[in-house]
Structure 1
Amino acid sequence: MVSRIALAQMCSGIDPDANARVIRDCVDEAAAQGADIIFTPEMTGLLDRDRSRAATHIRIEQDDPVLQEAQRSAARQKIWVAIGSLALKAVDDENKWVNRSFLIDPLGNIVARYDKIHLFDVDLETGEKWRESAAYQGGSKAIVAPVGQATLGLSICYDLRFPTLYTALTDAGADILSIPAAFTVPTGKAHWEILLRARAIEAGVFVVAAAQSGAHQDGRATYGHSMVIDPWGDVLLEMGTETGVGLCDIDLNDVAKIRSRVPAITNRRTFAFPKDPL
């Protein structure tokens, strides 16, 4: 079965209303070009490392204007919308936010949510320091959801470096993995493509990775290079650094074909872990 997917490569800023308008325009363009689903990057609605300023825009899920616009746009255009993630207030901790993905159906209904499990706490050689856990509450549950004849496994950005999550997703039936991101330029140059291809190859799945790209209003720079990768590890779409909508046709029958050649999922085995050192 052939499906047309769209990716929105964005340079999200500090104004959620402006980002919502970008989402609306991207959904309209994707629908006009016959896409069945559009994927957006991590932090679609707000990218602002000034947390005091960001706090003035972050809402609970029900009040988020970007999510509302995505739902309206999905219903208007009768298209699936996979929002890479939004920063939202945590319900159970007033001092924390969540980094949450959404899958929205062509009626505008939210059919799946995923909170980013692995939080980006690193010190880079460039001097960049990131402490996502200082503001965000990590998720604790892997999520898959049906999209037509496919099963979509949800993840976000730094999750990419933790293959056990993708083992869980593909064991649960995922044949497409969504990996939206806002990768830094240094880590993107070093690891983005190779990690995405590894996730596709190890399980024989399609990988769809919509990314943030360019110089943002908050002063950071992101890597871009949104990609679609097939189950053999071949890159079907690579968007470079320009923002906009990219399109790619995928044949879901390729999943079964590749898995018959290299049955990695079938050959998976459970095993005992090494004992702790004495």
Structure 2
Amino acid sequence: MRAALFQMTSGIDPVANAAAIAEMAARAKGEGADMLFTPEMAGYLDRDRKRAAATLRNEQDDPVLAVVRDAAARQGLWVHIGSLPLKDERSDGRWANRSFMIDDSGEIRARYDKIHLFDVDLATGESWRESSVYGPGEQVVVVDTPWVRMGLSICYDMRFPDLYRALTNAGATILLAPAAFTVPTGQAHWHVLLRARAIEAGCFVLAAAQVGTHADGRETYGHSLIVDPWGEVLLDMGRTAGLALADLDLSRVEDVRSRVPAIANRRAIPRDILLT
């Protein structure tokens, strides 16, 4: 399988972001890619909630989703949209942070709403409260593709290995972790977390990321990664926006799992805890 990762610096203009994804879909197809992967918040990245509220749409009316579905069909290319922010999707009034798996005919094969929300105060003075705007997803999602079964996650999810245990228990052999990581947390944890998720699951991990300074003033870490089931980094895009491709030898999953049968050796963890 040939995977193409689009490392983006998404801004506050959905039309421009959609055009950039469509352009990269054409480039990826021209370079022989089977699937294009984009970051979290690929269609719109804005921490100004008032401005975002006036811009965002629901899934049916989202212009980025429409453009990307059309591009996937025209190119005959599968596309994973890392996520789009969507309003008017939840009964509690909060928005959804939703990823989409789109097939080569432009059909939506799967949706996943981010389960774990990033609520934190950083030493740099940055403060993030995703749960005040976005509602958490409630469903673990895997999707069959022509190559393998893939497990869906978004950004902060990568800190919660129970999610990836559930995904691999359901048969996923490629784990997707699109992100918009802050620079301080990226420098400290990005590589080690993604390599750990790959090693413990004996899976490939693909993580398309946002990078650079964005129109809303935030800065993201970049370093879109592809990690193989042994924990080796096959692709690291550094701090430059653009497209990169890598060929995945999918037989590596079986090879690694035969050498370290962690999946086969899993046991249910007892609920009772012995305190001595």
Q: Deviations over 1:95-150 (max 9, x none)?
A: 21000000000000000000000000000000000000000010011100011130
Which residue does the alignment assign to 2:81?
Answer: 83
Contact 1:153–1:169 (CA<8 Å) still a contact in 2?
Answer: yes
What's the CA shift for 1:277? 7.3
1:213 is aligned with what amino acid?
Answer: V
Which residue does the alignment assign to 2:120?
Answer: 122
Contact 2:57–2:88 (CA<8 Å) still a contact in 1?
Answer: no
What's the CA shift for 1:171? 0.4
Q: How does 1:194-209 map to 2 (within 5 A)?
A: 194-209=192-207
In the aligned structure 1, how far is the partner of 2:163 from the partner of 2:68?
A: 27
Change (3 A) 1:277 1:53: farther
List structure 1 runs of 4+ shifted beyond 3 angstroms.
Answer: 274-278
**Structure 2: gaps spanning 5 or more residues:** none
In the aligned structure 1, how far is the partner of 2:239 from the partner of 2:210?
A: 9
1:235 is aligned with what amino acid?
Answer: V
Q: How does 1:250-261 map to 2 (within 5 A)?
A: 250-261=248-259
In the aligned structure 2, how far is the partner of 1:92 from the partner of 1:195?
A: 30
Select the residue among 99, 108, 112 that pairs with 1:101: 99
Q: Deviations over 1:230-257 (max 9, x none)?
A: 0000000000011010100001111001
Which residue does the alignment assign to 1:219?
Answer: 217
Determine if the alignment matches structure 1 residue 183 to structure 2 residue 184. no
**Structure 1: gaps spanning 5 or more residues:** none
1:204 is aligned with what amino acid?
Answer: G
Select the residue among 51, 63, 66 that pairs with 1:65: 63
Contact 1:90–1:137 (CA<8 Å) still a contact in 2?
Answer: no
Root-mean-square deviation (CA), in Å?
A: 1.2
Which residue does the alignment assign to 1:171?
Answer: 169
1:29 is aligned with what amino acid?
Answer: R
Q: How does 1:220-239 map to 2 (within 5 A)?
A: 220-239=218-237
Q: Deviations over 1:24-45 (max 9, x none)?
A: 1111111010000010000001
The percentage of aligned residue pairs carrying the same residue is 61
